[in-house]
Chain A
Amino acid sequence: MRPNADSAPQRIMVVRCPSLCDPDTSPAGPQAARLFDRVIGAVTGFCPNVEAAEPGVCAFGVRGPARYFGGEAMLATKIIAAVAELGVESRIGIADGMFAALLAARRAEPAAPVAPDGPAIPARPAAPGAGSEPVLVIPPGGTAGFLAAQPVSVLADQDLAGLLKRLGLLTLGDLAALPASDVASRFGDAGEAVHRLARGLDLRPLAARPPAHDLSVAREFDPPEPLAEPVVFAAKTLAEQLHAGLAARGLACVRVQVRATWADGEESSRLWRHDGLLTAAGVADRVRWQLDGWRAAPPDGQYAQGGIGMLRLVPDQVVRATGHQLALWGEAVVSDRVARAAMRVQAMLGHEAVLRPVTGGGRNVSEQVGHVPFGEKREPRLAVGPPWPGRIAGTAPGVVYPVAREAEVTDDAGRLVTVTGRCVLSAAPARLVIEREPPRRITAWAGPWPLSERWWDAVAARRRARFQLATDDGRAWLAVVRDSRWLIEAGYW
């Protein structure tokens, strides 16, 4: 039921809980996500198809429920009361289309007490109901007018918003007044998308998400199971149930959470992700590896926590099941054999312990090879494409220390060799002493090559001078001087 590209979007109600919007800074702390789950549960009582848009924000198509509950405003009041029973304050925006409804929900909040640039205005006492209305309804057809008055800074793409502002397009109305084809040719896809938003059209139809607890499967063990094998056997059946449930809804799972509740009530959980889709056998395997990881060393073989009382599989990220297709090129196909080996090690040591190297760009030898945990997408952190002036050209070192090693480089007279801000050397380097190693005589050297990175950023700024040193044992070293200290970054041998 995808609407025609330019038809008017459906009426959307957005429920926003300001206190739960940022799980990291929320006063509810780590409980915020669980609390938000309960909020969604409360809203689901009014309309079954609720989509969680982002943390603390959920949305649904309002036309049907509004008719049933006696109008949009009445429904909104009821929802706010229901959510307030959970101890959560909420704001509601209703408009044509998701974007306008989100903005309306945000506007329904009391004005920020401090103006961005001006002097601080004393905060008003936040009396309930006195500051602002918690519900903002944009009447049908009024969305374009509401959006036209919004500043471009409401767009999620802040770079584009800044550019629009510099071009003199201060509000969404200014942007919407431009011809779509001109916007598309100047700003590309991103411009076309925000132009659609500014005109009150939707980027995508709302995909109603069934509540997550419907999809998870669990099995209780009474009495608690002290051995792994029966649990793994149960996990296989559970995984098949999970997949049947997902498949019935046309979904597949790319990340699954395995949660085991121990006999003593403690809970252990781990997220398993794979770039391919997880099959029933794949899920069961992961359960086994995870349980193995928790078991004591072989002679004992028992679980420290007494036994498993409950095993639950929660599909954490579901996607539409469209069939799995391998990439045409660019990625080596990981055979099942290698994947099993890698994931067994991950079960022992954790997801981040097995890495796949990705060669990329960058000026320093340590950043030219990135490491991606097995099962995630291999993408270089820094692109190879752009030129990296100042990178050491030519031969790559065979040994790259993850953490640079402390060293001392002295001249013939035994004085520490220093480098001035203008890259003038105090004397020719003659001896190299690396921590915990015997001293070496320097037979040849080159440098200093200055490198000043990110000078615009006080925190990330780095200034260093680099050297290559050859020593009498036949090896060569990549050394840097930073803050008058010598560090060995890499070795050539």
Chain B
Amino acid sequence: MLPALPALRDLLPRGGLARGSVLAVPEFGLLCLALAAGASAAGAWCGIAGVPEAGLAAAVGTGLDAKRTLLVPDPGSAWPQVVASLLDGCELVLLRPPATVPVQVRRRLEAVLRRAGGVLLVAGDWPGAQVRLRVITQRWTGLGDGHGRVRACCAEVTADGRGEAALTRTRWLWLPAEDGGVTLADPVDIPMPGTPVTRTSPRLRAASAG
């Protein structure tokens, strides 16, 4: 079992990322990075394959350790071999596979995964995934009509899956909170659609660099 961030524990069966299992998130985003962050902060190596646009600064904000991260932005057509190699070295591999993955390739990678005892985090579709997580709604605070800046995001995240994860769980999270971390959102904080965004800061001054 690899540890997860405290705010994500309620969403995951037995509160962590089970070794040898596949977790799927339909689209790459901060949720994927936050799922990897807990394990990385606890000392695991994390490989990120096929996601050239991963925002590492935000990932570091959620707790990912950049020193223990390997990036393979463009694994090309040999991606199954690349992922298999990465699984030999890293406890957790975040992968965005191509749109269609042949069943045999999927089976083979799952076998490698069970043997290596790692966790495969898929940003995309993976029919055999033990746990599926998804952001249902999200809303950024801090932006106004021509003023403010992006501050924090309140997101409703749901998880379901197979076996012990079959029960659907839903949590409101700050993903990220204002300090860049991930925390559980208090129901009173949850912004309702249509309510005006409170102005929390004076308008930013234009700054010219150089």
Residue total for A at the interface (Cβ-Cβ under 8 A): 65
* B78 near A354: Cβ-Cβ < 8 Å: no
* B58 near A363: Cβ-Cβ < 8 Å: no
Assess whether A337 is interfacial by the CB under 8 Å rule.
yes
Minimum distance in angstroms from A50 CB to a CB of chain B:
42
Assess whether B209 is interfacial by the CB under 8 Å rule.
yes
In the complex the two chains form, what is the Cα distance from A490 to B30 in whole Å? 12
Residue total for B at the interface (Cβ-Cβ under 8 A): 65
Assess whether A421 is interfacial by the CB under 8 Å rule.
no
In the complex the two chains form, what is the Cα distance from A241 to B74 in whole Å? 37
Assess whether B161 is interfacial by the CB under 8 Å rule.
no
* B178 near A359: Cβ-Cβ < 8 Å: no
Q: CB-defined interface of B71-82 with A at 8 Å, one 1/0 digit per residue?
A: 111111010011
Residues of A within 8 A of B146 (CB): 428, 445-447
Residues of B within 8 A of A470 (CB): 140, 143, 150
Assess whether A219 is interfacial by the CB under 8 Å rule.
no
Instruction: Choose from A354, A365, A368, A446 the contact partner of B71 (Cβ within 8 Å).
Output: A354
Interface centre among A340, A353, A358, A490 (most CB of B within 10 A): A353
Assess whether B53 is interfacial by the CB under 8 Å rule.
yes
Assess whether A120 is interfacial by the CB under 8 Å rule.
no
- A65-107 residues with Cβ-Cβ distance < 8 A to B are none
* B204 near A449: Cβ-Cβ < 8 Å: yes
* A395 near B71: Cβ-Cβ < 8 Å: no
Instruction: Choose from A338, A353, A446, A493 the contact partner of B143 (Cβ within 8 Å).
Output: A446
- B138-178 residues with Cβ-Cβ distance < 8 A to A are 138-140, 142-153, 155, 176, 178
Can you report 22 residue pairs joining A to B where beta carbons are below 8 Å apart? A332-B65, A338-B89, A341-B87, A354-B72, A356-B67, A358-B66, A368-B57, A369-B66, A374-B70, A390-B207, A393-B149, A395-B180, A402-B53, A444-B140, A446-B147, A446-B148, A446-B150, A448-B206, A452-B208, A474-B139, A474-B155, A492-B140
Residues of chain B touching chain A, judged by Cβ–Cβ distance below 8 Å, are 28-30, 33, 45, 47, 52-61, 65-76, 78, 81-82, 85-90, 135, 137-140, 142-153, 155, 176, 178, 180, 197, 204, 206-210
Residues of chain A touching chain B, judged by Cβ–Cβ distance below 8 Å, are 331-332, 335, 337-342, 344-345, 348-349, 353-359, 363, 365, 368-369, 371, 374, 378, 388-402, 423, 428, 444-455, 468-470, 474-476, 490, 492-493
